[in-house]
Structure 1
Amino acid sequence: YERSRPTVKRWATHPDWPEPTGKRGRWNTYPASAVAAWVEEHVKYPTVQLDPKGWFTAQDIEDANVGVKAGSIRSDLSRGRWPEPDAQTREGAGLWKGQTVKDVLEKRRRYPTR
């Protein structure tokens, strides 16, 4: 899952984390299918269902329920963690193509909620 050992150890404290099936040395082992299901439910973003050729504001992206808030987009944009808008509205609001949003969300990490 391309995460550090401390991150996975933190995941393992989540109440829904699968039960260990044994040990390898001092480390617990878990069924791969149960871990994959947990990651799918708690860590991965939902598949982006935006028209790849459509244009979307930060609020449109939030309203599409893709797992990121408009405020987070604006914050990440100011920190260089979100791409610059592909265009702007007449009022100056950023517009991103659906494909741009899909590409950035596929690389973005999601943090488990309790």
Structure 2
Amino acid sequence: MVDRARRAPETVEEIAARTGRPLTTVKNTWRRHPDWPAPLPEKRGRWVQYDPDAVDAFLRDHIDRRAVALEPRRLYTAQDLEAAGIGIKAGTIRADVTRRRWPEPDDTEGGTKRWYGATATRALEGRRGYRRTAGQ
């Protein structure tokens, strides 16, 4: 059995600093999620504390997303990317193109917008919460 040292409880302020996210995101968005861990019974001053392992599990399951390995030279529609499991809906991709938060399509033959897998992978890596897949 592995003897892991127990990490000290964290406040939302410390969670925000550790994850590089604004305090308001942790307080007003993450904590309102139904799967956010329950606070520990002991407080530190006026701040409630959370088990860092439970917070990490929440982040892994609900916030961090592993970038899907896409075929670099294959062309994907927004619907194809959604079906590949990238974690973004096709409608969001189309809206983000309009708002210039997603790259312009690499191909528009026949009026269908398509992106190479390499283009989509770069776009995903620039989004918050995505990590590279192993071997990339």
Q: TM-score, normalised by structure 2?
A: 0.69
> 1:57-76, aligned counterparts within 5 Å?
57-76=77-96
Of 13, 24, 31 in structure 2, the residue corresponding to residue 12 of structure 1 is: 31
Superimposed CA distance per residue, residues 16-41 of structure 1 (whole angstroms, 9 cap, x where no aligned partner): 21122333322122122211110111
Q: Distance in 2 between matches of 1:104 and 1:29?
A: 35
Identify the residue that residue 36 of structure 1 maps to in structure 2.
56
Identify the residue that residue 126 of structure 2 maps to in structure 1.
107
Q: Distance in 1 between matches of 2:119 and 2:45?
A: 44
SS in 2 for 1:87: coil
> Percent identity, aligned pairs only?
48
1:5 is matched by which residue type in structure 2? L
- Cα deviation for residue 56 of structure 1 reads 1.0
Q: Which runs of 5+ in 1 are unaligned?
A: none
SS in 1 for 2:43: strand
- Cα deviation for residue 108 of structure 1 reads 2.5
Q: Which runs of 5+ in 2 are unaligned?
A: 1-18, 130-136
Q: Distance in 2 between matches of 1:103 and 1:26?
A: 42
Superimposed CA distance per residue, residues 56-100 of structure 1 (whole angstroms, 9 cap, x where no aligned partner): 111211121211122111111001111111233x20322212122
Structure with greater contact order relative to length (CA < 8 Å, sep ≥ 6): 1
- Cα deviation for residue 109 of structure 1 reads 4.3
Contact 1:20 1:30 in 2 (8 A): yes
SS in 2 for 1:94: coil
4+ aligned runs moved over 6 Å, structure 1: none
Structural RMSD (CA): 1.9
1:83 is matched by which residue type in structure 2? P
Instruction: Pick the structure with greater CA Rg.
Output: 2
2:121 is matched by which residue type in structure 1? K
